[in-house]
């Protein structure tokens, strides 16, 4: 990224933070949280930072204009200690991440490849450069289709957290990550102290892991009703759904073993909630700060009210910048939709785009700022 592009980003980011600073409210209590920031492109994360007040936090943001802002899911006694164990963990929110990439495949038309060695590029997914054979860098745009699948998965997660774990809707906060996923933060008293092992069990339950299909099949084939067995957790979850689908214990008893097994496999797929387990298990995880800009796209990590989930439109509602015409030298860009408009495809051309689309192209590394 050219220096002029970085300066353009910083100017736009500053405008957003200046006008929206009151929206940036970290989870309480602010004094017990660790903060992390990406301050410069290509540099490591500046972390172990803490703040005494919301005002200090806001001042820091407006002075530094970070590219990305993170806050710990955990509360610590000493959040700025650089030694993780010396931070002294008090408790941690439950944090879930649903990554669009892992729930739906990315399409050729929404991707571009760039060869770092000979600077060739094109639209599509290519692992190797067709000219020099060097490995390429793949740039995937934010795909509406992928995000829709991820949103359905998020609704599924919320349903399970509510119905099976008894998490109250007011203790769940749902966000579009600003790029390719959704986040769910759970801040409910009785879940804050769940240990690593307990978190592992929650993950198994959601991903339907550790299920002994043979054992379950035997139960089902013997026609044992749920009252007659002591199934717990994930086994019980699957068992109940099979019974529900089959209609009765009798039907299962008389069905072929293969038929029941097939049904079982179908139900596992249906019930599975595709969360990223690595995120949930890690109590020291830093979460992207709500309402902050995601520098992978220039969109905002946007809070979504539960009742708005079914109709949420990430590519319109998470836009952070205005529509002043901005000149851009675009290397390569597949056709993309943003802010209710369609742009591109572009190749080796100078174009005028609204600021929000220009920021997006620069953040994706597909073009450089060329003035206003």
Task: Tell me the chain's radius of gyration from C-alpha atoms.
Answer: 24
Under rule CB under 5 A, which residues in 163-222 are in contact with Zn ion? none
The least CB distance from residue 120 to Zn ion, in Å, is 5
Q: Please identify, among the stretches 38-46, 124-132, 291-299, 308-316, the one whose residues bind Zn ion according to the rule CB under 5 A.
A: 124-132
Residue 323 tokens read as 């529509």
Beta-strand runs (E) in the chain: 35-38, 46-49, 68-72, 74-76, 89-92, 94-99, 111-115, 121-123, 136-140, 172-176, 181-186, 286-288, 293-294, 299-300, 302-304, 325-333, 336-338, 341-343, 346-354, 367-369
The least CB distance from residue 333 to Zn ion, in Å, is 19
Question: Which backbone phi and psi does 138 adopt, to 5 degrees?
Answer: -100, 135
Q: How far is Cα 216 from Cα 198, in angstroms, rounded to an integer? A: 23
- One residue of 4, 53, 131, 218 binding Zn ion per CB under 5 A: 131
Nearer to Zn ion, 9 or 129 (CB): 129
The least CB distance from residue 235 to Zn ion, in Å, is 52
Q: How far is Cα 105 from Cα 350, in angstroms, rounded to an integer? A: 31
The least CB distance from residue 163 to Zn ion, in Å, is 52
- One residue of 80, 105, 118, 168 binding Zn ion per CB under 5 A: 118
- One residue of 50, 94, 129, 141 binding Zn ion per CB under 5 A: 129
Q: Please identify, among the stretches 132-140, 143-151, 237-245, 321-329, the one whose residues bind Zn ion according to the rule CB under 5 A.
A: 132-140
> How many residues sit close enough to Zn ion to count as binding (CB under 5 A)?
8
Nearer to Zn ion, 131 or 193 (CB): 131
Long-range contacts of 269-274 (CB under 8 A, 24+ apart): 270/241, 271/208, 271/237, 271/238, 271/241, 272/206, 272/207, 272/208, 273/98, 273/153, 273/156, 273/157, 273/160, 273/206, 273/207, 274/98, 274/102, 274/103, 274/153, 274/207
128 binds Zn ion (CB under 5 A): no
Residue 50 tokens read as 């803490």
Measured in Å, how far apart are the chain's first and last C-alpha atoms?
Answer: 18
Q: Please identify, among the stretches 109-117, 233-241, 278-286, 313-321, the one whose residues bind Zn ion according to the rule CB under 5 A.
A: 109-117
Nearer to Zn ion, 132 or 226 (CB): 132
Q: How far is Cα 350 from Cα 338, in angstroms, rounded to an integer? A: 19
Long-range contacts of 156-165 (CB under 8 A, 24+ apart): 156/273, 157/96, 157/98, 157/184, 157/206, 157/273, 157/275, 158/184, 158/306, 158/309, 160/205, 160/206, 160/273, 161/186, 164/205, 164/237, 165/191, 165/202
In a 13 Å sphere around the CA of 289, the CA atoms on its Cβ side amount to 27
Q: Please identify, among the stretches 121-129, 176-184, 328-336, 345-353, the one whose residues bind Zn ion according to the rule CB under 5 A.
A: 121-129
112 binds Zn ion (CB under 5 A): no
Nearer to Zn ion, 105 or 134 (CB): 134
Nearer to Zn ion, 39 or 118 (CB): 118
The least CB distance from residue 107 to Zn ion, in Å, is 23
Nearer to Zn ion, 133 or 371 (CB): 133
- One residue of 117, 159, 262, 335 binding Zn ion per CB under 5 A: 117
- One residue of 73, 103, 115, 203 binding Zn ion per CB under 5 A: 115
Sheet hosting strand 346-354, strand order edge to edge: 346-354, 325-333, 367-369
Nearer to Zn ion, 112 or 268 (CB): 112
Q: Please identify, among the stretches 122-130, 186-194, 246-254, 310-318, the one whose residues bind Zn ion according to the rule CB under 5 A.
A: 122-130
- One residue of 132, 168, 226, 278 binding Zn ion per CB under 5 A: 132
Nearer to Zn ion, 2 or 132 (CB): 132
The least CB distance from residue 348 to Zn ion, in Å, is 16
Q: Please identify, among the stretches 24-32, 59-67, 127-135, 183-191, the one whose residues bind Zn ion according to the rule CB under 5 A.
A: 127-135
| Residues lying near Zn ion in the complex (CB under 5 A) | 115, 117-118, 120, 129, 131-132, 134
């Amino acid at each position: 990224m050219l220096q002029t592009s970085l300066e353009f980003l910083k100017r736009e980011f500053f405008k957003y933070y200046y006008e929206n600073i009151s929206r940036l409210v970290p989870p309480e209590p602010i004094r017990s949280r660790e903060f992390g920031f990406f301050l410069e492109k290509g540099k490591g994360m500046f972390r172990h930072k803490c703040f005494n007040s919301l005002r200090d936090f806001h001042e820091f943001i407006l002075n530094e204009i970070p590219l990305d802002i993170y806050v710990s899911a955990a509360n610590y006694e000493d959040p700025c200690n650089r030694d993780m164990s010396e931070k002294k963990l008090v408790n941690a929110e439950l944090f879930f991440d649903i990554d669009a990439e892992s729930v739906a495949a990315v399409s050729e038309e929404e991707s571009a490849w760039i060869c770092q060695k000979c600077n060739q590029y094109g639209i599509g997914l290519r692992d190797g450069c067709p000219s020099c054979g060097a490995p390429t860098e793949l740039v995937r745009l934010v795909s509406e289709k992928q995000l829709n699948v991820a949103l359905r998965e998020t609704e599924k997660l919320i349903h399970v957290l509510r119905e099976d774990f008894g998490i109250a809707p007011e203790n769940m906060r749902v966000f579009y990550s600003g790029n390719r996923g959704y986040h769910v933060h759970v801040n409910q008293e009785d879940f804050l102290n769940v240990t690593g092992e307990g978190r592992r069990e929650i993950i198994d339950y959601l991903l339907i892991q550790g299920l002994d299909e043979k054992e379950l099949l035997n139960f089902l084939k013997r026609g044992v009703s749920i009252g007659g067995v002591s199934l717990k957790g994930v086994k019980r979850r699957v068992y109940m759904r099979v019974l529900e689908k089959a209609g009765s214990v009798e039907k299962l008893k008389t069905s072929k073993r293969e038929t029941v097994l097939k049904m079982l496999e179908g139900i596992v797929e249906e019930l599975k909630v595709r969360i990223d387990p690595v995120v949930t298990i890690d109590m020291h995880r830093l979460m992207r700060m709500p309402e902050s800009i995601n520098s992978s796209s220039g969109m905002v990590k946007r809070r979504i009210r539960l009742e708005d989930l079914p109709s949420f439109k990430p590519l319109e509602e998470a836009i952070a910048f205005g529509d002043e015409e901005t000149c851009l030298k675009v290397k390569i860009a597949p056709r993309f939709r943003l802010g209710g408009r369609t742009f591109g495809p572009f190749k080796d051309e100078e174009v005028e785009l609204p600021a929000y689309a220009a920021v997006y192209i620069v953040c994706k590394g597909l073009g450089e700022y060329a003035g206003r």
